Homo-oligomer: A and B are copies of this chain.
Amino acid sequence: MTGSALPDWRDSLPWPGAGTHKHARGRLGVVSGKATQTGAARLAARAGLRIGAGLVRILCPPDAAAVIAPAIEAVMLTPFGSPEALVEACEGMDAVVIGPAAGVTELTQANVRALATTGAALVVDADGLTAFEAWPEGLFEALDRDDVLTPHEGEFRRLFPGLLESGREAAAADAARRAGAVVVLKGPETVIAAPDGRLAVNGNGTPWLATAGSGDVLAGMIGGLVAQRMDSFDAARAAAWMHAEAARGFGPGLIAEDLPERLPGVLAALHEQGS
């Protein structure tokens, strides 16, 4: 049950080919919280774009559009007023991130479940997990094996009470089976587990990642790789490693906003090694 060595995902990284069009390169959606809580979605969207999704669109409550619109350029924006409108706005998306600053509400529950009816792979993070604390089955029954849950320990305990007592690796493995999706149990040594039993432990964690918004960036990175049709387990492993590598190279004083801007350097090093 020890994790596999990490660099083996490198050969699966979705580098664009000579003829790759931006649509073919992958379309990522990121669901934003309300007007005062849009920074998390913007961080995730930026990370998803930097890691190579060809198109990234933030889906936001109508009153948040005026906040987000002036703060984005290449990232696109669609307001939505109901779970049904969210589904419509996500037509053609390859992956959608939901949860960062989404609010622990029934609406978030409804939005997650509505998104699960689309063809997009989901990355469910933060409030998207906690919203199902009292009804984890409502989440699990909606998930597919290419979906990804990204709880820290607190969120993990809410969805999978008791599991952590058997240790982080066993807990993550068990959770992935129960949820029927990839589970990324974040921490100093992030554990990534797939429902088919694959398990990995990320080995390059760094304390500089303990900063607000860091998890939003990770969710966006996973979403960006999955949107490019990287296998979700590999995408989660690759993102966890690159996320930490970006932070490690920065050192003290890191804030989450630095992470997407560090990705080109991390990606370039991986690209060169591969060629």
A residues lining the B interface (CB < 8 Å) = 15-22, 24-25, 35-39, 42-43, 49-52, 54-56, 65-79, 152, 187-188, 205, 207-208, 210-214, 250-257, 263-268, 270-271
Whether B213 lies near A54 (C-beta < 8 A) is no
| Given A49-B212, A54-B210, A211-B49, residue A74 in contact with residue B255 (CB < 8 A) | yes
| Given A70-B70, A74-B257, residue A210 in contact with residue B25 (CB < 8 A) | yes
The answer for the CA separation of A54 and B266 in the assembled complex, in Å, is: 24
List residues of chain B with CB within 8 A of the CB of A73: 39, 42-43, 213, 256-257
The answer for the CA separation of A197 and B77 in the assembled complex, in Å, is: 40
Closest 7 pairs (CB-CB, A-B): A253-B264, A74-B213, A16-B207, A252-B267, A39-B73, A74-B256, A67-B69
CB distance from A114 to the nearest CB of B (A): 21
Partner of A49, one of B17, B36, B208, B255: B255
Whether A17 lies near B65 (C-beta < 8 A) is no
Whether A35 lies near B69 (C-beta < 8 A) is yes
CB distance from A96 to the nearest CB of B (A): 16
The answer for the CA separation of A18 and B77 in the assembled complex, in Å, is: 37
The answer for the CA separation of A24 and B209 in the assembled complex, in Å, is: 13
| Given A77-B37, A78-B36, A264-B252, residue A19 in contact with residue B187 (CB < 8 A) | yes
For this complex, 23 residue pairs linking A to B, each with C-beta atoms less than 8 Å apart, are A16-B210, A17-B207, A18-B205, A19-B207, A20-B210, A22-B210, A22-B212, A22-B214, A25-B210, A35-B65, A37-B77, A39-B69, A39-B73, A43-B74, A52-B211, A54-B212, A55-B212, A70-B70, A73-B256, A74-B213, A251-B267, A252-B271, A253-B266
